[in-house]
């Protein structure tokens, strides 16, 4: 079967750095996405990785290792507005997205 694993909840301090991990087992791989979802709102696109390595976008970076079935999202200089759920999704061989359950990130002052 297809499976995406990520921690259920993480806590971090404002101004710090946090890394959210995602491991996956899917039928085929055509890219990995990270989305941010604030409570009661729709998911919004953050980043995309299809090749191994690090993609940097301002305070957010995403890393991929296809051989290990592993990705992480790195958030730097945390702000209170970063409190949200972070969803990892893999595009499979049918070009459909398989979603993890999401990691709820709590930022404390």
Partner 1 sequence: IAGITQAPTSQILAAGRRMTLRCTQDMRHNAMYWYRQDLGLGLRLIHYSNTAGTTGKGEVPDGYSVSRANTDDFPLTLASAVPSQTSVYFCASSDGGGGDYNEQFFGPGTRLTVL
- Contact between residue 102 and residue 41 where contact means Cβ atoms under 8 Å apart: no
Range in contact with partner 1 (rule: CB under 8 A) among 9-17, 28-36, 59-67, 74-82? 28-36
CB of 23 to partner 1, least distance (A): 14
Closest CA to 22 of 31, 13, 34: 34
Question: Judged by CB, which is closer to partner 1: 91, or 107?
Answer: 91
3-state class (DSSP) for residue 81: helix
62 to 91, contacts with partner 1 by CB under 8 A? 87, 89
Q: How near is the Cβ of 100 to partner 1 at its closest, in Å?
A: 5
Beta carbon of residue 48, minimum distance to partner 1 (angstroms, whole number)? 5
Structure tokens at 34: 């990270």
As given in the structure block, the two tokens for residue 85 are 């759920």
Say if residues 32 and 71 touch (Cβ distance below 8 Å): yes
Residues that bind partner 1 (CB under 8 A): 4, 30-31, 33, 41-45, 48, 87, 89, 95-102
């Amino acid at each position: 079967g297809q499976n995406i694993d990520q921690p259920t909840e993480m806590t971090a301090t404002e101004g710090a750095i946090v890394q959210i991990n995602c491991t996956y087992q899917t039928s085929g791989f055509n890219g990995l996405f990270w989305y941010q979802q604030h409570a009661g709102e729709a998911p919004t696109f953050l980043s995309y990785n299809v090749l191994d390595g690090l993609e940097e976008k301002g305070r957010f970076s995403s890393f991929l290792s296809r051989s290990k079935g592993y990705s992480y999202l790195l958030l730097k200089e945390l702000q209170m507005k970063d409190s949200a759920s972070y969803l990892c999704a893999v595009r499979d061989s049918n070009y459909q997205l398989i979603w993890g359950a999401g990691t709820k990130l709590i930022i404390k002052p």
